[in-house]
Structure 1
């Protein structure tokens, strides 16, 4: 006699009993589970049940059950388990199961933290942090549409710039603990519900946070059809600044702006070395510096990269770690351990080295520096992490007033965001990568 429980309920029962066979018996031969943007069939389905659920002590507490008119079975449960170390999930979370059943067996089961009864949108997010294979954590899948709360506005996104910061998120690297799943993207441009065209100030954190917002830990992402942001983060775009150009301003260009104008405090005619020539921050530094009247030098691993730097305004270019004709007033370093010693060696006494990243291969945060050289020559070494809203507004106005056209290396649709992230991870960019939505 057939069980009075649906196969979805038997799957839940097997989960709570840590009974692998009961879980697998709920599925038809050739069944598919679609979870967190990934498909599992056959042996992969067995591994999903065993390693993904049982080995994490997964337990499901029923919240709501509906046997739908279309024949599909819906269950809302609260999922508990040991998911913190691998997935960055510390608390019980909503899990929604929607099963297609035939002959008392599950043929297709969609599960995840997206409620299928509510409106959804397309997104690109990090499912977890993977230090060695970050690209495996990318998911291009729907999530529930956000609703604005008091003091916040909804933005229909048009374009989003990718950054190395997205790689940090995919690797699980952050000053503060990252909670997954996390929508990727930090910058972008779009339109408010009232039609206002805006650029997103990237530090999307707590609107009540006091102090320098660049260190607020509660930031979130923009790589989605819609985002909800504090009103102050939706900055009206100056006339003439289109969505693609505005989309690159928030991270790379704002970081470059602060490095050059707030930290280095250069004067027109002074010389600065940019360590790199084709990344988002380095191309921004070259374009901003040349527009401001600085003498910009840069390094590049290939002649093509060095030629790009010259086209963007660099006066001279050099191979990496090359000896310069003379010492410079400032060095802008985005690579970290691979170049920081060279950067310190290239700056004149009393000069400054401004660092904003660890983009060199391996992403090491450890380095050795010559402290005697540092203090004897009174060199300043400082770091930058994006910028303030005031600086963001000044940047937009500066770019518009100078007629700067930000260099964009590649434009991709949202569904191909993984291709752009791969370019960043493997160092194949030739300027900013833009995702259009």
Structure 2
């Protein structure tokens, strides 16, 4: 048996339950690819799994990590798209392939979805084995760290903006919480598609960096009334799309910022999941509320082609060796990051 180094949760609590362990290298089954990982990034769900993992079926100890990039180590001899040594990036969602959603090409809605780092061992390790369909060629020009960031944040933002909200190049989108990985992904994708982007943060330095990246207008949610500032910036009209992953704390402002018939798309609730519904505003102004999580294989393929064509590079805040996983988790939990917190897996 060959062992590997991995960062695992051994219980629930704080960083004391996150341990570097020697774990058996996962066996590769027929149809799977064994990937030697070189990089992964830290996501909010890693903190959630560490803290409680409530509602997510998992077994302890479990290897953390959703996204990753590396090289093909072992693959079926008759595999035509992947070969040993090839740089690859991973899609973290493993569907059953049999439910009505998988059969209809909506694998992201699979009723038996198992996510790396949540329902099964993840990417904070030297190796991971997963179905060949989840393994994609790494876009030329990206580092392993940059590529790893695409598998959760940019894929989530892609589905939210283009599949769910159907953002058009002539429209305006309001992105809350700039500095976080998914919000920065939304800024990058929306600007490269031609849309106008307004961003919010409670940190002026993050707003300045977002403006330098191409944001058209910036609002400090700590010192300004966001909805009033949005209306002022749009000539009293409001935005076509609100991109939201904060939840309760910003919900009222988000709703008031939308033009009549506008769309709010959400993928998170870091400040609470029970906001006021504001039903009168929803039906009188004919607003659309759209939920979204991750993205399917076709969306990931389209995202990777878009990245290759446009030269998009995910924003990396900081990179830590796997041995310093506690520091990486602390950095994300602090909220001070601007971009992705990454792990280098040697």
In the superposition, the TM-score normalised over structure 2's length comes to 0.86
Kept after mapping to 1: 8 A contact 2:142/2:313: no
1:138 maps to: 18
2:30 pairs with 1:150: yes
State the distance in 2 between where 1:260 and 1:166 align.
Answer: 24
2:125 pairs with 1:214: no
Relative distance call for 1:342 and 1:138 in structure 2 (3 A) is same
Q: Secondary structure of 2:343's partner?
A: strand
> 1:169 deviation in Å?
1.3
1:393 maps to: 301
Larger Rg: 1
Q: Secondary structure of 2:94's partner?
A: coil
Relative distance call for 1:246 and 1:268 in structure 2 (3 A) is same
Deviates more, 1:239-248 or 1:141-150: 239-248
Unaligned runs of 5+ in 2: 74-83, 117-121
Kept after mapping to 2: 8 A contact 1:187/1:250: yes
* Alignment match of 1:405 (pick from 308, 313, 326): 313
Unaligned runs of 5+ in 1: 1-117
1:344 maps to: 255
State the distance in 1 between where 2:207 and 2:141 align.
Answer: 30
1:166 maps to: 46
Structure of greater relative contact order (alpha carbons < 8 Å, 6+ residues apart) = 2
* Alignment match of 2:327 (pick from 413, 419, 430): 419
1:330 maps to: 241
CA-based RMSD: 1.6
* Alignment match of 1:376 (pick from 280, 284, 309): 284
> 1:245 deviation in Å?
1.5
State the distance in 1 between where 2:158 and 2:38 align.
Answer: 23
1:127 maps to: 10
Where does 1:262-341 land on structure 2 (aligned, <5 Å)? 262-320=163-221, 321-322=225-226, 323=228, 324=230, 325=232, 326=234, 327-341=238-252
1:73 maps to: none
State the distance in 2 between where 1:281 and 1:394 align.
Answer: 17
Q: What is the number of residues matched between the two proteins?
A: 314
State the distance in 1 between where 2:262 and 2:89 align.
Answer: 34
2:77 maps to: none
Kept after mapping to 1: 8 A contact 2:165/2:290: no
State the distance in 1 between where 2:191 and 2:181 align.
Answer: 16
State the distance in 1 between where 2:19 and 2:113 align.
Answer: 23
Residue deviations 1:86-135 (CA, integer Å, cap 9, x gap): xxxxxxxxxxxxxxxxxxxxxxxxxxxxxxxx3211111222233xxx43
State the distance in 2 between where 1:403 and 1:177 align.
Answer: 38
In the superposition, the TM-score normalised over structure 1's length comes to 0.69
